[in-house]
Structure 1
Amino acid sequence: MTDDHLRTLAAAVHVLSRSLHRRGVAQVGLDVLPPSESEVLAQIGSRPGSSVSEIARALRLQTSNVSTAVRGLVARGLVDRTTDPDDQRRTLLHPSPAAVRHRRLLDDAWAGLLADLLRDLPPDDADALRAAAPALGRLARAITADPARTH
């Protein structure tokens, strides 16, 4: 794959991600979260039981910024805090039942939106994108698995 192909892929993934997110939130009727809160909530959902500092490290954000986002998410009823049983000074973060329910609704809305978009593409393109789904999933997990990875 050439650099031009990779640029095209990166731009397409970015546009799809942002557009699917906005449209899914509107379709489901959820409040739009500020980007920082949305990113922190996604990280907490993928790593329940993490601390603020662990989330900050994973997202490469300042701990104070993550703390601010967490306060907003707690106020919205989307994040629950618990005390670490092994270290009473440490707070662990978990998605609330409402956040889990919202995520399920969004996942379903996004899948429906993609299904509609794929129906409008030539069959070979739609098939190629469906076939790429497992590889894209692995790519998404790889980019979030190692917070220290820069290249």
Structure 2
Amino acid sequence: MNPRSPADTDEAAFAAAVHAVVLRLRRLGERRLGLDLLPLSELEVLAHVIDHPGATVTAVARELGLQSSNVSTTVQHLVTKGLMERHSDPADGRRTLLQPTAKAQDDRRRIDGAWTAVLGQFLDELPDADRAAALAATSALARLAEIDLG
């Protein structure tokens, strides 16, 4: 068994910190707005469809590295919750295109605003050097979010 290197420890600490911030943002952001927290699977599919309206279940599954049957079930839950709609593809009636509802788009805007407000409060509590370091990590975090490991 290989001993853990300092880099492994740093990466584990970074992962734990990012996870903790996300959980707090969800709890403080969405709940402050009176929104029910969606399961992560639904949140991931919904966010993808908001960013890629008109996607098919197959495309969403491929992009997210999920099984089509699981995405189909998740889409049904989101349709039932009034957050997603299915429409026939006008170019090919056999295909179904996914669209976020106006409610889903409005909720996303409200959540983005709540997360910004909560993060602002978090940042205000940090010493100036830590605040500057956190804000300096913005582009690196954005690049991390775009990396496709699948």
- Answer whether TM exceeds 0.5 for this pair: yes
Task: Find 1:88's aligned residue among 87, 93, 97.
Answer: 93
Unaligned runs of 5+ residues in structure 1 are none
Q: Which residue in 1 is equivalent to 2:14?
A: 9
What is the correspondence of 1:96-115 to structure 2 with a 5 Å cutoff?
96-115=101-120
- For normalisation by structure 2, the TM-score amounts to 0.88
User: Equivalents in 1 of 2:140, 2:89: separation in Å?
Assistant: 36
Aligned residues with identical type, % of pairs:
47
Matched residue, 2:83: 78
Equivalent position of 1:61 in the other structure: 66
Three-state SS of the structure 1 residue aligned to 2:77 is helix
Looking at structure 1, the residues matched to 81 and 19 of structure 2 have their Cα atoms a distance apart, in angstroms, of: 27
CA distance in 2, matches of 1:28, 1:72: 21
Structure 1 residue runs of 4+, over 4 Å off?
A: none
Larger deviation, residues 90-99 vs 40-49 = 40-49
Give 1:137 deviation, angstroms: 1.5
Q: Highest Rg: 1 or 2?
A: 2
**Alpha-carbon separation, structure 1, partners of 2:56 and 2:23:** 27
> In structure 2, what is the Cα distance between the partners aligned to 1:108 and 1:124?
25
**What is the deviation of 1:53?**
1.2
Counterpart of 2:25, as a letter, is L
The normalised TM-score by structure 1 is 0.87
Q: Tell me how far apart the structure 2 counterparts of residues 83 and 60 of structure 1 sit (CA, whole Å).
A: 24
**CA offsets 1:109-137 (integer angstroms, 9 cap, x no match):** 01111111111111100011112112211
Q: Does 1:49 align with 2:49?
A: no
Match of 1:29 in 2: 34
Q: Show structure 2 runs of 5+ residues with no match.
A: 1-5
- 2:143 match: 138
3-state SS, counterpart of residue 137 of structure 2: helix
SS at match of 2:99: strand
Other structure's SS at 1:2 match: helix
Aligned residue-pair number: 145
State the one-letter code of the partner of 1:15.
A
Match of 2:127 in 1: 122
